C-alpha cells in the first residue's frame, strides 16, 4: 500500500493509476528520475493522478500529514491556488487516460526542479517502525542498557532524518513550484492536442467511434509511438488541415497514419 503524503487515493483510482504506469514507459522514467532525488516521488505521482482524475480529491487532515512531507504540502498547495491547474483538472476529471497524460507531464516538470540532495534522503517512517519494534520487544522483556541505547540512537537519527527532509523542502521556492506546474500543464496540453488530432484522424474526423473503442492501453501505445515518431505528429497536423480547409482527402491521411502506426 502506497504511503499517504497529503491526499488519500481511493482504491479504484489507485488501480487506474497503477494500470497507467504499467503501460506507460514515459511515466515510469519520470518516476525513476524523481525517486533519485526523493524517496516518495512515486506516491506523489499517485496523488497527482488522483487530483486530476477525481472530481473531489480526498485531502487528509493536517494532523495526519507527516512533517517530512513538507515538500509535497507546498506543491499540492500551489496546485490548489493555481487557477490553471483547477481548469486543467476539471477537463480531465473521470478520464483515466487523460489523467495519466496530465500526471506524466506535471510530474516530469516537478522532477526537473527538484534539486539533488547532498545525501540521499531517508524515510523517517522506517525509523519510527524500528523504534516501535524495539518498544514491543521491551514490553515482553526487561529493558537493558543496550536496548535503551538503541532506542535513543534511533530517536536521534529519526529527528535528523526528518530535519533533512524539511530543509530539502525549504530549498525550493513557491515561485519555482508554480512555474514548474505551469510548464507541466502546457506540455500536457500540447500532448493532448496531438493525441486528439491523431485519434480523430484514425476515427475519421467527427466520428468518435474509434476513439470510444480504444482502451487506455491502446491509447498509451499510440501516445508513445507519437512521441517517438515526428512523422506521425506531422500526419496528425495534416489531418487537422484537412478538417479545417479540406486540402487533402482525409481517407489518405488516415491510411498513411495507420501505416506508420503499425
Per-residue pLDDT of 145-177, as tens digits, reads 887 888 888 889 889 999 999 999 999 999 999
Taking the C-alpha atoms of residue 229 and residue 222, their distance in angstroms, rounded to an integer, is 10
Q: Does the pLDDT of residue 121 top 70, yes or no?
A: yes
Collapse the DSSP code of 233 into the 3-class scheme (helix H, G, I; strand E, B; otherwise coil) and give the result: helix
Q: What is the mean pLDDT of the chain?
A: 81
Give the CA-trace dihedral at 53, 58, 63, 64, to 10 degrees.
Answer: -70
| DSSP 3-state percent helix, strand, coil across the chain (nearest 5) | 80, 0, 20
| pLDDT range class, residue 227, cuts 50, 70, 90 | low
CA gap 229, 224 in Å, rounded? 9
Helix/strand/coil for 76: helix
The answer to whether the beta carbons of residues 199 and 232 sit under 8 Å apart is no
Q: Does the pLDDT of residue 200 top 80, yes or no?
A: no
pTM of the complete model beyond 0.85: no
Beta bridge partner(s), residue 7: 59
Does 128 have pLDDT greater than 80? yes
Residue 208 confidence class, pLDDT cut points 50, 70, 90: very low
* pLDDT surpasses 60 at 207: no
pLDDT at 101: 92
CA angle 30, 31, 33 (to 5 degrees): 65
Query: Average pLDDT in the 210-225 region?
Result: 58
* 14: three-class secondary structure by DSSP: helix
| Residue 175 pLDDT | 94
CA–CA separation, 51 and 59 (whole Å): 10
Among the ranges given (49-53, 84-88, 232-236), the one the predictor scored with the smallest mean pLDDT: 232-236
pLDDT in tens, 53-99: 999 999 999 999 999 999 999 999 999 999 999 999 999 999 998 99
Amino acid at each position: 500500500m502506497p504511503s499517504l503524503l497529503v491526499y488519500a487515493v481511493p482504491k479504484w483510482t489507485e488501480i487506474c493509476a497503477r494500470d497507467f504506469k504499467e503501460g506507460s514507459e514515459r511515466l515510469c522514467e519520470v518516476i525513476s528520475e524523481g525517486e533519485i532525488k526523493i524517496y516518495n516521488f512515486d506516491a506523489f505521482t499517485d496523488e497527482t493522478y488522483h487530483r486530476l482524475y477525481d472530481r473531489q480529491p480526498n485531502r487528509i487532515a493536517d494532523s495526519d500529514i507527516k512533517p517530512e512531507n513538507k515538500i509535497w504540502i507546498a506543491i499540492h498547495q500551489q496546485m490548489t491556488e493555481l487557477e490553471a491547474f483547477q481548469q486543467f483538472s476539471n477537463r480531465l476529471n473521470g478520464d483515466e487516460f487523460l489523467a495519466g497524460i496530465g500526471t506524466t507531464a506535471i510530474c516530469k516538470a516537478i522532477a526537473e526542479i527538484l534539486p539533488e540532495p547532498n545525501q540521499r534522503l531517508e524515510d523517517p517512517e522506517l525509523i519510527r517502525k524500528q523504534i516501535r519494534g524495539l518498544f514491543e520487544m521491551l514490553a515482553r522483556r526487561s529493558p537493558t542498557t543496550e536496548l535503551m541505547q538503541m532506542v535513543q540512537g534511533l530517536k536521534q537519527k529519526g529527528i535528523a532524518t526528518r530535519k533533512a527532509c524539511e530543509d530539502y523542502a525549504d530549498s525550493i521556492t513557491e515561485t519555482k513550484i508554480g512555474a514548474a506546474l505551469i510548464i507541466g500543464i502546457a506540455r500536457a496540453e500540447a500532448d493532448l492536442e496531438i493525441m486528439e488530432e491523431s485519434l480523430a484522424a484514425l476515427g475519421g474526423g467527427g466520428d468518435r467511434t474509434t476513439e470510444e473503442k480504444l482502451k487506455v492501453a491502446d491509447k498509451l501505445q499510440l501516445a508513445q509511438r507519437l512521441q517517438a515518431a515526428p512523422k506521425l505528429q506531422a500526419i496528425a497536423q495534416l489531418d487537422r488541415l484537412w478538417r479545417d480547409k479540406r486540402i487533402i482527402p482525409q481517407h489518405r491521411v488516415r491510411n498513411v497514419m495507420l501505416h506508420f502506426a503499425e
